[in-house]
Amino acid sequence: MSLPAATPAGGTAPAEASAVAPVAPGRLGVAVSVDEAARYLPALERWVAARRTELDALDRAALASPHGSAATDDLLLSMALWKSVADRTALLSATWAGGRVGAVERERLSTLVWGRLDTRVTAPGPPGGLGEIAAGLAVSLPEACRLSDALVASLRVGLGLDLSTAEVTARLRALRAQLERIREQVGTEPPGSHQQQGAATAARLGRRLAEVGDKAGRGGDVDGLLGPLEIEASTVERDLIVGAARRREAASRLGRARGLRTELEAREAALQQLVQVCVETVEPAPRYAVPDVSALGPVPNTPALLDTYLGRLEQVSRAMAVVQGAYGQALRDHEELVARLDALRAKASALGVADQPDLHRASAMAAETLARRPCPSAIAEQLVALYVSYLTAATDPPRPRTPQPRSPQPRTPEEPRP
């Protein structure tokens, strides 16, 4: 469920429950089944849309809150995480192609889900803040979604969004699910003092949650207890995810290079499909070439060469982001133009002017041009603008003509009488 409205504490619009990311199917190296992909991708797309709505609402709440500046770092990272997840979701949708997938495409889907996801913070946060720690963080898509959920939960509490008493049960349920994720994450920690400390923290959070649940069951006011508990649980989960990602990155740089190359190959194939769709749909299409990952050669195994190779892989990743942005924007512009024409035609029908000859002719020309493959974008925009002009002329009331003042007639001088 999205968060359509967010107000600081004392406002009039209570916030709704935060969106929760869907559970990702399969694991790295195992092809995703068609049924799993059919369930996961629509749920992920809904989550991406809902999360963007939440972040917009949280941004407005931060601007209105006297303590909003303290949330800048978390908001910055949340936006970066959302952008990375949204871009990866677009590649998943292009690879999915409405379910027309074989074994190779299902393996690519698995790679795109469980492969490395770059999170880049584009503006500086506080020194040593979370944005600085997580800039360029290498996490998988499911980890990025969980990290986003944790950050949003922390932001909602930190900004003091007004929550109704009826949501206490939902908040307790979300905390129990989050605590279970923390326990699972602690179980993946390497044996040692760090794992023991994580287990002790999870146990302490569990005891606090049980106390809050008992008090709520007795009818007590737990709103003041839930906030700090949610913030601490979100911080613990966030730190565990970041720590696990850092350990993986430090443990095997060679494995990182191989995994990044595999992911880039999957992105390359998905981008080729996206480019093909764009070229077939609009004219002129962007003129960017999809980077060829094979041109980098095999992955080296020496530290010095590996650093250079990883740098080149990063350059290819950034180039692919540029290609995806250009071709994706061209397709979005075409879709928006089609939607605009549909809306204008519906407006004309509602006003009873759709059958006027000029409007009918302009509508037919615009629709035929937009349906052409490839569609000449500039001509289509002009035809839609022409339809707007005809619609405006048909619906604006005629202006009354202002009578022109009559010029005085020259007087003929009287002839003298004889």
Q: Which residue has the tokens 């990044």?
A: 260
Pairwise CA distance, residues 145 & 167, whole Å = 23
SS3 22: coil
Pairwise CA distance, residues 166 & 168, whole Å = 6
Contact in structure between 367 and 341 (CB atoms under 8 Å): yes
Backbone angles phi, psi at 399, to 5 degrees: -80, 135
Extract the tokens encoding 207: 């005891």
What DSSP designation does 373 have?
A: S
Contact in structure between 267 and 112 (CB atoms under 8 Å): yes
What DSSP designation does 69 have?
A: G
pTM for this structure? 0.56
Q: Residue 335: how many CA atoms within 13 Å on its side-chain side?
A: 8
Pairwise CA distance, residues 327 & 354, whole Å = 34
Extract the tokens encoding 160: 């003091």
Give one DSSP letter per residue of 268-282, joined into a string: HHHHHHHHHHHHHHE
Q: Which residues of 271-309 are buried (b: 16+ CB within 10 A; e: fewer)?
A: beebbeebbebbbebbebebbebeeeeebeeeeeebeeb
Extract the tokens encoding 338: 């089609």
Give residue 412's pLDDT. 57
For the purposes of burial, counting CB atoms within 10 Å of the CB of 45, is it exposed (0-12), middle (13-18) or buried (19 or more)?
A: middle
Give residue 137's pLDDT. 64
Pairwise CA distance, residues 150 & 178, whole Å = 8
Give residue 337's pLDDT. 94
User: How many helices and strands (H and E) does the chain possess?
Assistant: 12, 4
Give residue 16's pLDDT. 55
Give residue 13's pLDDT. 37
Q: Which residue has the tokens 């069951």?
A: 217
Q: Which residues of 96-105 are buried (b: 16+ CB within 10 A; e: fewer)?
A: beeeebeeeb
Q: Which residues contact 335 (CB under 8 A, 6 or more apart)?
A: none
pLDDT tens-digit profile, the chain (418 residues): 333 333 333 333 334 567 888 999 888 778 899 999 999 999 999 999 999 998 998 888 888 777 677 778 888 888 989 999 999 999 999 999 888 888 889 999 999 998 887 665 444 444 444 444 444 567 889 989 988 988 888 887 777 664 555 567 778 888 888 889 998 888 888 888 888 888 999 999 999 888 888 887 776 777 678 878 888 888 898 888 888 877 776 567 788 888 899 999 999 999 999 999 999 999 999 999 999 999 999 988 776 788 889 999 999 999 999 999 999 999 999 999 999 999 999 999 999 998 899 999 999 999 999 999 999 999 999 999 999 999 998 887 666 666 666 666 655 555 555 5
Give residue 417's pLDDT. 57
